Amino acid sequence: MTASLTAPATGLSGWTHDWLATLPAPSGDLAPVQQRGRQALAELPVPGSRQEDWRFTDLSLLATLPLAELAADSSASTTTGARALPAPEPGVLRLHLDGTSDPLAGFALPDGLQPLSAGEIAQGLGHTLGATDCEHHWPVELNHAAANRVLALRVASRKQVKLELVSNGGAGLLPLRLLLVLEEKAELELSQLAQAEAAGLTSLVLEAHLARSARLSHGLVALGCPDAALLGHLAIEQEPESSYNLTAVTHGWGLARLEPRVQQVDGQASTTLRGLQQVDGRQIADTHSFVRFNGPEGQLDQLHKAVAAGQGRSVFNGAVRVPRAAQRTNAAQLSRSLLLSDRARIDTKPELEIVADDVKCAHGATVSSLQTDELFYLQSRGIGSDQAAGLLKRAFCEEVLRELPAAARRWCPLEALQLEAA
């Protein structure tokens, strides 16, 4: 079993033009954003294997999605078969996102959570995307072209808030746009569930600005199906003494591309990134992370895990930028992958660019299979071979799963991830 170093061409010439031609005229509060996104998307080539950031990611699944359904109103998306969720804990606000209706309608926001004004939205929308250098990325412009609603919230200073966001993608395009502003010493526990049960595309763009000493704990559970695609950008801007903790789990998507992008504005902030992606069949899961330190004494703790079976393909690229101004940075990055099939592929690429000379920076990458001696040990204790393999696989994943916020972990049962030990 080996890690692959090549990728097929996407074969998507003309796809963007055809899709744009089916879209209705820009409308709603985000009409200017839609117009700019469509103009930009018409000029941008669809990413392909000749681009370094996309050379391992095959986007051909997008060409199989019906254009008429992709252009349809996402409120018509099929949600039949979505897993029933446990009721939210007392004091926790759960919002359902369908890309078209107002998720706040009929809800009384808890103390500490406020909607942003139209002026604040106009000022803040796109700011963090620009700060993290991804405002013109192809998946972001695709979201711009279609999104007609944004969930824009402020977490008040010195408040602790728990928020759950749930989306069910069906046949069609589900564009999700989120804007979060955390004031000084505000705390937000954000649990986010993205599901898909039919051939469609879920497009997620999140921007979050963390003021001094703010804390954001973000759990993202993305459970898809082999005919569905997920393209997500998470843009985070951190002021000094703030903390951002992300735990992301992706499973079951035919194509899943997730890009967490973090900028520590003036250093002295803490970033923790935990990721787990699972692929089987002919699925593709790609995580491209980017963390930039713009000041001294910043911290990064990153662990990315992947499990690849069947003919699945897992991709990880973790970029860390430490300029001269970022002295006394402490950054650690580790990629660990489990290869369960001789036809599966894993590409992993830690990428550190360090100019500062007074830093502690480390990275590592491993690709392994289930160990024969560990399987033998369990079988010698009377555990069947399938159950033993399940236990080892579960143990590998638990290191990430246990970091999920409580609500997000309830959404991620072992059977949903095919981690049951029986």
pLDDT one-digit tens code per residue, 214-250: 999 999 999 999 999 999 999 999 999 999 999 999 9
Q: How many CB atoms lie within 10 A of CB 145?
A: 25
pLDDT of residue 9: 37
The yes-or-no verdict on residue 37 having pLDDT over 90 is yes
pLDDT of residue 178: 98
- The number of residues in the chain equals 422
397 in a domain, yes or no? no
162 confidence band (pLDDT: 50, 70, 90): very high
Where is 196: in which H helix or E strand? strand 187-196
25 in a domain, yes or no? yes
pTM of the entire structure?
Answer: 0.91
312 in a domain, yes or no? yes
The yes-or-no verdict on residue 71 having pLDDT over 60 is yes
Strand duo 151-155 + 172-182: pairing: parallel
Structure tokens given for 265: 């504005």
User: Which DSSP letter does residue 24 get?
Assistant: P
Q: Which amino acid is at 290?
A: F
41 in a domain, yes or no? yes
Q: How far apart are CA 416 and CA 406, in angstroms?
A: 16
pLDDT of residue 5: 33
392 in a domain, yes or no? no
346 in a domain, yes or no? yes
Q: How far apart are CA 398 and CA 409, in angstroms?
A: 11
Counting the structural domains of the chain, the total is: 1
The yes-or-no verdict on residue 132 having pLDDT over 60 is yes
What residue numbers bound the domain in which 265 lies? 15-81+89-104+113-368
SS3 content of the chain, % helix, strand, coil (to 5): 20, 40, 40
Q: How far apart are CA 86 and CA 312, in angstroms?
A: 31
Structure tokens given for 183: 């004031």
pLDDT of residue 422: 39
185 in a domain, yes or no? yes
181 in a domain, yes or no? yes
Count of alpha carbons within 13 angstroms of residue 415, beta-carbon side: 2
**Alpha-carbon radius of gyration of the chain:** 21
The yes-or-no verdict on residue 76 having pLDDT over 80 is no
